[in-house]
Amino acid sequence: MSQIDIQSDIQQTILKQQKIDSRRKWILNGVLLVLLLLAPFVMYPVFLMKILCFALFAVAFNLLFGFTGLLSFGHAAFLATGGYTTGYLLSNFSGLTTEMGVIAGTLMATVLGLGFALLSIRRQGIYFAMVTLALAQLVFFFFVQASFTGGEDGMHGVPRGELFGLINLEDNLNLYYVVLTVFLGCYLLVQRIVSSPYGHVLKAIKQNEPRAISLGYKVDRYKILAFVMSAALAGLAGSMKSVVFELASLNDAHWHMSGEVILMTLIGGMGTLLGPVLGATLVVNIEYQLGQGPLRDWVDPILGGIFVITVLAFRSGIVGEVQKFVRKNMG
Amino acid sequence: MSDQYVLETQNLVKEFKGFVAVDDVNLKIQKGHIHALIGPNGAGKTTVFNLLTKFLIPTRGQILLKGEDITPLKSAAIARKGMVRSFQISAVFPHMTALENIRVALQSFEGNSFSFWKSGASLNRLNARSMELLESVGLTEFANTTTVELAYGRKRALELATTLAMEPEILLLDEPTQGMGTEDVDRVVELVRKAAQGRTVLMVEHNLGVVSKLCDRITVLAQGAVLTEGDYETVSADPRVREVYMGAGSSGERGTDAEVEAAQ
Ligand SMILES: Nc1ncnc2c1ncn2[C@@H]1O[C@H](COP(=O)(O)OP(=O)(O)OP(=O)(O)O)[C@@H](O)[C@H]1O
Ligand SMILES: [Mg+2]
């Protein structure tokens, strides 16, 4: 065979491989969709919506952490900003339909995300985490002091209202399918982002930043965009959460929450698509189950223990380990 | 004058907290040359590369690229102007395939690198060109191999191919043969020779055998300052050069010293 033939042969193989991978991805997407469509018939919709909101939060966080390599310790700020903004608007302006409140909350988090990004993006590693944490603490104290948040008591009685002024969201099942649609839309968006030309650049930056710079990439701009998109999706998660629970509270702004989303992402598998979804599902369930029983005071130590085990023993998280196993045993 | 030299530095200085790592260096790199930058460990060679590509900010002095003062530019902009570097420690994207490594470089000229909404399949049109580049460094059969799994010599070959994908006018190579066995060294020498056609190359190289085979001109750096400059015969005959090399007494240089003898 001539050199050219070999080359085109290999190219064919690569394209075939891409097709197989993409088919596998869509099968998995289909399974996920069917499960989520049927879930409210076997489980309480509000609980499911809680999972979906946290899953979206973790997916958003993972876009920055898992796919760009930036560990933010301040993502609670975006969750809370989305929640408080939406809660405040829907509570005080009865003319607003629900989606307007949610969009406004998302936009507010996006703008805040840009601010965070501009102030932190030059820092590397642990310094980046520290700057994001410090900024998020500022936001937390602002929410503690501001009167509209209700301080320690939280912001209660956020009206769910009506989608487009048409669909009654007081109905849990209606709201569930709205939340599900938003979640799936965002999930597919992130799936698209990480496999796009832009996603390839993020991968390069994550794997070897100096090399990416030396190939002519202005890496700060790529990182800022990733940060802003991540903040926007985290804000959206917070906005929906405030609609679902008719409540926005300081819990969402607390640094605990920034830690929890790291935990979810690591348990499920950072840098995988399904990992954060699975991680969020597990953490929310563990918290709920333990919170009911005699171990309720042990929730944090137990989650901490799981965190340590994950970091020490299976660093790629559940989905990451499964992927490794599949790759090893099935070619 | 200035079209003869594609790259010049004028009184380039880099201080680290009072320690002068690069001391008043004036380089003139002639167009089309393979120019070597040699010197004992810690002489400041890598630091000069870092200054030229703005991975470090010069304390004083100017850098001229084709007569234009590029001192204020940032790293990415310099790469886009056609001066692309490699790294002393092999720089690849470890969890991408060899083909994907090359595509990252080609993509940087595509203008789609912020298109987060586009399908990744839109990058497939870079595959053919990537395969050509892989072929040029003998890596065709590894196109679909994840880079971490490649042997060291192949990683360096991939790095070179990735750098060449940028179609640089000026190639900065920081010890391309470091840590290689003789067979790999010979291959790299051939690769650099091929890559240098129609280009200017500035390379840091400890292996004087390689320098004597490849380079048109040599600048010797010692303790941050230029000790001497000239062609291989002139430089290798200079007693001061032999002195700094022997005085350094590190493992890399012992071999080198023998090679100086052999070459003479
Ligand atoms: N970022 C830095 N901060 C402080 N000192 C530095 C820094 N980078 C380099 N140096 C110092 O500057 C001097 C020159 O280092 P450089 O890496 O340029 O040497 P080199 O000629 O490339 O050596 P080698 O042959 O070992 O690669 C060394 O003494 C080094 O310790
Ligand atoms: Mg060096």
| First-to-final CA distance of chain B | 33
DSSP element (H, E) containing A77: helix A76-92
Whether B114 sits inside 8 A of A203 (CB atoms) is no
Instruction: Give A127→chain B minimum CA distance, Å.
Output: 19
B51-78 pLDDT tens trace: 999 999 999 999 999 999 999 999 999 9
Smallest CA-to-CA distance from B22 within B8, B9, B31, B35 is with B9
Of B87, B118, B132, which is closest to A197 when you measure between CB atoms? Answer: B118
Overall number of domains in chain B: 2
How far is residue A79's CA from residue A58's CA, in Å, rounded to a whole number? 11
The predicted pLDDT at position B250 comes to 43
In a domain, A29, yes or no: no
Length in residues, chain A: 331
Smallest CA-to-CA distance from B171 within B142, B143, B138, B195 is with B195
Q: Ligand 1 pocket, B44 CB below 6 A?
A: yes
Is residue B55 domain-shared with residue B177, that is, in the same domain? Answer: yes
Of A197, A208, A213, which is closest to B115 when you measure between CB atoms? Answer: A197
Whether A196 sits inside 8 A of B120 (CB atoms) is yes
The residue whose CA has the least distance to atom 24 of ligand 1 is B41
Ligand 1 atom nearest residue B19's Cα = 5
A212-258 pLDDT tens trace: 999 999 999 999 999 999 999 999 999 999 999 999 999 999 999 99
Is residue B138 domain-shared with residue B15, that is, in the same domain? Answer: no
Is residue B32 domain-shared with residue B47, that is, in the same domain? Answer: yes
Is residue B104 domain-shared with residue B78, that is, in the same domain? Answer: no
Q: What is the CA radius of gyration of chain A?
A: 21
CA B43–ligand 1 middle distance (angstroms)? 7
Query: Does A17 lie at the interface with B, CB-CB under 8 angstroms?
Result: yes
DSSP element (H, E) containing B141: none
CA B26–ligand 1 middle distance (angstroms)? 18
Overall number of domains in chain A: 1
Collapsing DSSP to helix, strand or coil, B63 comes out as strand
Ligand 1 atom nearest residue B206's Cα = 25
Is residue B77 domain-shared with residue B156, that is, in the same domain? Answer: no
In a domain, B187, yes or no: no
In a domain, B123, yes or no: yes
A280-292 pLDDT tens trace: 999 999 989 888 8
Ligand 1 atom nearest residue B17's Cα = 4
Render each residue's pLDDT in chain B as its tens digit; 264 residues.
Answer: 446 899 999 999 999 998 999 999 999 999 999 999 999 989 999 999 999 999 999 999 999 999 999 999 999 999 999 999 988 887 899 999 999 999 999 999 888 899 999 998 889 999 999 999 999 888 999 999 999 999 988 898 899 999 999 999 999 999 988 878 888 888 889 889 988 999 999 999 988 889 998 999 999 999 999 999 999 888 888 888 888 876 544 444 444 444 444 443
What whole-number percentage of chain A has pLDDT above 90?
Answer: 70
Instruction: Give B56→chain A minimum CA distance, Å.
Output: 12
**pTM of the model as a whole:** 0.89
In a domain, A171, yes or no: yes
Whether A211 sits inside 8 A of B91 (CB atoms) is yes
Whether A210 sits inside 8 A of B84 (CB atoms) is no
Query: Does A204 lie at the interface with B, CB-CB under 8 angstroms?
Result: yes
A165-182 pLDDT tens trace: 788 888 899 999 999 999
Smallest CA-to-CA distance from A229 within A219, A218, A237, A241 is with A237
Looking at residue A252, what DSSP letter applies?
Answer: G
Structural domain for B100, as ranges: 94-167
Smallest CA-to-CA distance from B198 within B156, B170, B160 is with B170
In a domain, B87, yes or no: no
Average per-residue pLDDT in chain A? 92
Structural domain for A103, as ranges: 43-253
How far is residue A204's CA from residue A218's CA, in Å, rounded to a whole number? 12
Q: Ligand 1 pocket, B16 CB below 6 A?
A: yes
The predicted pLDDT at position A276 comes to 97
Q: Where are the beta strands (DSSP E) in B117-240?
A: 170-174, 200-204, 217-222, 225-230
Least distant ligand from the CA of B40: 1
In a domain, A77, yes or no: yes
Whether B96 sits inside 8 A of A203 (CB atoms) is yes
Please, are residues B115 and B160 in contact by the beta-carbon 8 Å criterion? no
CA B174–ligand 2 middle distance (angstroms)? 7
Collapsing DSSP to helix, strand or coil, B108 comes out as coil
Q: Kindly report the CA angle at A81 between A118 and A162, in degrees rounded to 5?
A: 135
A71-125 pLDDT tens trace: 999 999 999 999 999 999 999 988 888 899 999 999 999 999 999 999 999 998 8
Give chain A positions within 8 Å (CB) of B132: 7
Give chain A positions within 8 Å (CB) of B76: 213, 216-219
Amino acid at A159: P
pLDDT band for position A262 (cuts 50, 70, 90): very high
Is residue B228 domain-shared with residue B113, that is, in the same domain? Answer: no
What whole-number percentage of chain A has pLDDT above 70?
Answer: 99
Is residue B102 domain-shared with residue B73, that is, in the same domain? Answer: no
Please, are residues B261 and B52 in contact by the beta-carbon 8 Å criterion? no
The predicted pLDDT at position B38 comes to 93
Q: Ligand 1 pocket, B256 CB below 6 A?
A: no
Domain at B39, CATH number: 3.40.50.300
CA B17–ligand 1 middle distance (angstroms)? 13
Please, are residues A197 and B120 in contact by the beta-carbon 8 Å criterion? yes
The predicted pLDDT at position B244 comes to 80
Residue A111 has phi, psi (to 5 degrees) of -65, -45
Nearest chain A alpha carbon to B123: A197
How far is residue B181's CA from residue A315's CA, in Å, rounded to a whole number? 35
A309-324 pLDDT tens trace: 988 888 899 999 998 8
In a domain, B142, yes or no: yes
Is residue B98 domain-shared with residue B8, that is, in the same domain? Answer: no
Is residue B132 domain-shared with residue B152, that is, in the same domain? Answer: yes
Probe residue for ligand 1, chosen from B12, B46, B256 as the CB with the greatest number of ligand atoms within 8 Å: B46
In a domain, B194, yes or no: no
Q: Residue A304 half-sphere exposure, CB side, CA atoms within 13 Å?
A: 6
Is residue B160 domain-shared with residue B240, that is, in the same domain? Answer: no
pLDDT band for position A1 (cuts 50, 70, 90): low
Is residue B74 domain-shared with residue B114, that is, in the same domain? Answer: no
How far is residue B25's CA from residue B206's CA, in Å, rounded to a whole number? 20
The predicted pLDDT at position B247 comes to 58
The predicted pLDDT at position B259 comes to 44
Is residue B5 domain-shared with residue B56, that is, in the same domain? Answer: yes
Two tokens at B127? 């595959």
Smallest CA-to-CA distance from A83 within A166, A150, A173, A133 is with A150
The predicted pLDDT at position B253 comes to 40
Question: Is the per-residue pLDDT at A6 higher than 90?
Answer: no
